[in-house]
């Protein structure tokens, strides 16, 4: 049982942070029956309950309360949380407020497992069945938040007719020019339920004393998630009709239908997971191991991607202003308008699963050899490969078929969702429609080496090195500290164009850990005859070091909007390979701006849309077109960090000890820089240090003492 939580106190009482609570309770029982020395049955039951109460804002000032938006002049209907709407200002400026993403989740898991072990001759056979019951109870939500956000993008202080004339979010904020506003207006509590059942069999066959073969097979069934009171809905992608589990609920759009099962998507019965492996010891000093295995599972996702987040179980507003284009100054909104007026679209209250959404299917294979160099030192070298299919991604299924033409959106004229829908209150027309699906993929290949010395003469250490390549076409649902990546495809209709190095791909990765007992003091190599007082001062000390080094992560070159209404990031064109000359982090005589991509003419982007000057590596695509550059076209700087410690224990009385420890985090104060600016139209393109992009933290020194009794 635990009562974990975290919380913070704001420097300025304008962010309204809340305490996150995570109480957890668990319990279980195991029953073992021995039929014979070679046949044993084990039955287990278990229960885990986790409660999450996250980010419900608290007004420590006592001034704003639940009328904060009214007090700062933002129109918000029926505010129910403390504070005021988050002011999202592009350019790294904090404008105050909290979107109140807060979620309450109660997660119960019941497990029922029976396992049989049967020893027969050279075979050790295990077989069993599992049944897991999942219960998720939470309020419906989306990514807008219960207080929402007003976004100041800088579009209205830009000059769209000029190159390198992007705007500034802070200027838009001062001018009261809002680009978009989004908020969750109403939600209900839901209870999702699911059974996961599985059966498995595995045989460890000891063919010879030095050779063991492992063969296994597992089959699993993930029942489609259902809501206990049928608060679930989907959209029939072939017709556009909104469909619900069980019956059409009160408040549903006119013309809604009923799903053919309570999950509103189809079950999958093809989760077969074979396993095969071997271990062979050809000599006393060498071991070879290899294996293949597959796993399959439905990935978790945000509550806003569940089929419970659908009208009428949740109501949201998403208002987008018309931004400037050449010859058109646009139509900004104001903070005073808040979440009223303008074009209100309810796309945030519809979520879609394709009927045939698939569980992720991951295959792994490896071959490893380990050799004993000495009695205490070993070297392990191996290869590992992995391939993932049917990985979860998301996108706008209503993306324009012709960029820049809203009327080309697939559901623009749809009977149920189009501009002339049978229920106009929920018409999305050209607006986004979130789909969660399983079109993403990945692969990983790596050579790995580990040198390990067990404790010898006071020294033990482990050194790991990996040379690898990881590729994918989707970042996934959650953010990563790299530029230009997205879990959605740039072009929803062309997932292959997003294939490239994964955002977390590091070609070289080195790590080490070591502990050394200094051979100093009484009975040791140095000062072996030290007296008690001297030995207490200089003897018994240990030092340790832990380090990680990796090469730079991939970065994606981005460009202005392609006007497709895609959820993916817009990329630049790549005309030719980037030639890096005089690369620098800081301004120098040969690189006056400290450009990470160097000073070769190819590092200066072509900013005229669609025009290749014959020199630049990257450029702005022609209006209403997708960029040709791939994800991960360039690399950021690498990372280096070494932590060191010195520690000693003094025996005081019997088994009681007094300990002293000194730690130096980032001991050498190495600065590891972060992501370069990859916006192809940015005046700071390629800069890192001047933008304050730093991945590491400064050196921290820590002294500590403890007493054990």
Q: Is the dihedral of CA 199, 262, 260, 415 positive or negative?
A: negative
How does residue 21 score in pLDDT terms, banded at 50, 70 and 90? confident
What integer pLDDT is reported at residue 691 of this predicted model?
67
For 357-402, the pLDDT digits (tens) are 999 999 999 999 999 999 999 999 999 999 999 999 999 999 999 9
Nearest alpha carbon to residue 299 among 388, 187, 188, 197: 388
* Distance of alpha carbon 466 from the chain centroid: 22
What integer pLDDT is reported at residue 343 of this predicted model?
40
* Distance of alpha carbon 620 from the chain centroid: 29
How does residue 420 score in pLDDT terms, banded at 50, 70 and 90? very high
Query: What is the rounded CA–CA span in Å between residue 141 and residue 456?
Result: 57
The answer on pLDDT for 300 being more than 90 is no
What integer pLDDT is reported at residue 345 of this predicted model?
41
Query: What is the rounded CA–CA span in Å between residue 22 and residue 106?
Result: 10
Query: In sequence order, what are the residues at sequence separation of 6 or more whose Cβ sits closer than 8 angstroms to the Cβ of residue 127?
Result: 115, 116, 118, 199, 200, 201, 202
| Preceding peptide of 484 cis, ω within 30° | no
The encoded tokens of residue 473 equal 């076409």
Please report, for the chain, how many H helices and E strands are present, in that order.
3, 34
| Paired residues of 651 in beta bridges | 657
Which range (187-196, 458-467, 519-528) has the least confidence? 519-528
Query: What is the rounded CA–CA span in Å between residue 263 and residue 227?
Result: 8
Say if CB 100 and CB 146 are below 8 A apart: yes
Q: Go through the chain and tell me how many residues it has.
A: 709
| Residue appearing with tokens 């999958």 | 268
Q: Is 609 exposed, middle or buried (0-12, 13-18, 19+ CB in 10 A)?
A: middle
Say if CB 604 and CB 686 are below 8 A apart: no
What integer pLDDT is reported at residue 131 of this predicted model?
97
Query: Torsions phi, psi of 122, nearest 5?
Result: -85, 5
What integer pLDDT is reported at residue 426 of this predicted model?
81
What integer pLDDT is reported at residue 10 of this predicted model?
52
C-alpha distances out from residue 92 to 148, 168, 691, Å: 18, 10, 11
What integer pLDDT is reported at residue 375 of this predicted model?
92
| Paired residues of 434 in beta bridges | 351, 396
Nearest alpha carbon to residue 696 among 500, 549, 568, 567: 549
Cβ–Cβ contacts within 10 Å for residue 672, how many? 18
What integer pLDDT is reported at residue 322 of this predicted model?
78
* Distance of alpha carbon 648 from the chain centroid: 40
Query: Torsions phi, psi of 689, nearest 5?
Result: -60, -40
For 208-256, the pLDDT digits (tens) are 999 999 999 999 999 999 999 999 999 999 999 999 999 999 888 899 9
The answer on pLDDT for 2 being more than 90 is no
What integer pLDDT is reported at residue 342 of this predicted model?
41
* Distance of alpha carbon 585 from the chain centroid: 28
Secondary structure in 3-state letters for 164-205:
CCCCCHHHHHHCCCECEEEEEEEECEEEEEEEEEEEEEEEEE
Query: In sequence order, what are the residues at sequence separation of 6 or more whose Cβ sits closer than 8 angstroms to the Cβ of residue 697?
Result: 665, 666
Terminal CA-CA length for the chain:
26
For 670-701, the pLDDT digits (tens) are 999 999 999 999 888 999 876 678 888 999 99
The encoded tokens of residue 165 equal 């004339």
| Residue appearing with tokens 């450029």 | 619
Please compute the mean of the pLDDT values over residues 110-131 and round it to a whole number: 97
What integer pLDDT is reported at residue 138 of this predicted model?
85
Say if CB 156 and CB 323 are below 8 A apart: yes
Say if CB 410 and CB 340 are below 8 A apart: no
Which range (121-135, 319-333, 591-605) has the least confidence? 319-333
For 543-572, the pLDDT digits (tens) are 999 999 999 999 999 998 888 999 999 999
Nearest alpha carbon to residue 303 among 509, 143, 495, 410: 143
| Residue appearing with tokens 């550059």 | 629
For 123-175, the pLDDT digits (tens) are 999 999 999 999 999 888 777 888 889 999 888 988 877 766 778 888 999 99
The answer on pLDDT for 344 being more than 60 is no
| Paired residues of 437 in beta bridges | 393
Cβ–Cβ contacts within 10 Å for residue 441, how many? 20
What integer pLDDT is reported at residue 9 of this predicted model?
52
Query: In sequence order, what are the residues at sequence separation of 6 or more whose Cβ sits closer than 8 angstroms to the Cβ of residue 62?
Result: none
Q: Is 479 exposed, middle or buried (0-12, 13-18, 19+ CB in 10 A)?
A: exposed
């Amino acid at each position: 049982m635990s009562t974990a939580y975290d919380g913070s106190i704001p420097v300025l009482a304008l962010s309204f942070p809340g305490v996150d609570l995570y109480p957890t309770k668990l319990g279980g029982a195991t029953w073992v029956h021995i039929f014979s020395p070679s046949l044993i049955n084990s039955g287990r039951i278990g229960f885990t309950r986790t409660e999450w109460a996250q980010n419900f804002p608290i007004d420590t000032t006592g001034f704003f309360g639940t009328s904060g938006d009214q007090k700062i002049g933002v129109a918000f209907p029926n505010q129910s949380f403390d504070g005021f709407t988050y002011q999202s200002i592009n350019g790294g400026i904090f404008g105050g407020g909290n979107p109140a993403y807060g979620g309450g989740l109660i997660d119960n898991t019941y497990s029922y497992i029976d396992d049989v072990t049967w020893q027969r001759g050279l075979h050790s056979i295990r077989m069993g069945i599992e049944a897991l019951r999942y219960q998720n109870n939470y309020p419906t939500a989306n990514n807008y938040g219960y207080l929402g956000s007003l976004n100041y993008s800088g579009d209205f202080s830009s000059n769209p007719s000029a190159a390198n004339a992007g705007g500034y979010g802070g200027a838009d904020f001062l001018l009261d020019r809002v680009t978009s506003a989004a908020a969750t207006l109403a939600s209900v509590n839901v209870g999702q339920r699911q059974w996961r059942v599985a059966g498995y069999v595995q045989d460890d066959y000891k063919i010879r004393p030095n050779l063991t073969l492992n063969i296994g097979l597992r089959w699993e069934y993930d029942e489609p998630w259902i809501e206990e009171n049928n608060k679930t809905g989907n959209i029939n992608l072939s017709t556009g009709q909104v469909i619900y589990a069980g019956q059409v609920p009160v408040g549903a759009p006119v013309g809604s239908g009923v799903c053919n099962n309570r999950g509103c998507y189809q079950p999958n019965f093809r989760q077969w997971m074979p396993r095969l492996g071997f271990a062979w010891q050809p000599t006393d000093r060498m071991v070879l191991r290899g294996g293949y295995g597959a796993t399959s599972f439905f990935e978790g996702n945000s509550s806003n991607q569940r089929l419970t987040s659908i009208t009428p179980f949740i109501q949201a507003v998403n208002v987008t202003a018309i931004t400037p284009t050449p010859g058109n100054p646009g139509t900004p909104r104001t903070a005073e308008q808040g979440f009223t007026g303008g074009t209100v679209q309810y796309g945030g209250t519809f979520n879609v699963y394709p009927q045939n959404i698939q569980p992720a299917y991951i295959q792994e294979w490896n071959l490893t050899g380990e050799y004993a160099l000495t009695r205490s030192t070993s070297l392990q070298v191996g290869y590992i490969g992995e391939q993932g299919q049917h990985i979860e991604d998301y996108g706008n299924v209503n993306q324009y078929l012709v960029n820049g033409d809203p009327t080309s959106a697939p559901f623009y004229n749809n009977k149920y969702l189009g501009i002339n829908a049978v229920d106009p209150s929920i018409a999305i027309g050209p607006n986004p429609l979130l789909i969660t699906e399983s079109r993403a993929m990945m692969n990983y290949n790596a050579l790995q080496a580990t040198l390990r010395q067990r404790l010898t003469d006071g020294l033990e250490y482990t050194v790991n090195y990996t040379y690898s390549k990881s590729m994918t076409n989707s970042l996934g649902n959650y953010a990563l500290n790299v530029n230009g990546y997205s879990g959605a495809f740039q072009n929803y209709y062309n997932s292959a164009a997003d294939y490239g190095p994964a955002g977390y791909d590091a070609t070289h990765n080195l790590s080490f850990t070591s502990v050394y007992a200094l051979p100093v003091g009484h009975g040791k190599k140095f000062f072996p005859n030290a007296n008690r007082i001297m030995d207490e001062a200089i003897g018994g000390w240990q030092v340790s070091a832990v380090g990680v080094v990796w090469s730079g992560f991939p970065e994606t070159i981005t460009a202005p909007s392609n006007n497709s209404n895609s959820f993916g990031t817009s990329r630049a064109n790549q005309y030719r390979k980037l030639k890096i000359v005089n690369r620098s982090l800081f301004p120098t005589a040969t690189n006056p701006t400290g450009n990470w991509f160097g000073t070769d003419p190819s590092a200066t982007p072509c900013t005229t849309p669609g025009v290749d000057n014959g020199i630049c590596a990257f450029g702005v695509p022609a209006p209403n077109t997708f960029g040709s550059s791939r994800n991960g076209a360039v690399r950021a700087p690498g990372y280096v960090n070494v932590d060191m410690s010195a520690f000693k224990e003094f025996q005081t009385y019997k088994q009681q000890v007094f300990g002293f420890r000194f730690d130096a985090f980032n001991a050498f104060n190495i600065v590891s820089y972060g992501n370069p600016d990859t916006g192809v139209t940015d005046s700071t393109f390629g800069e890192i240090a001047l933008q304050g992009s730093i991945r590491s933290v400064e050196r921290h020194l820590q002294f500590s003492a403890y007493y054990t009794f």
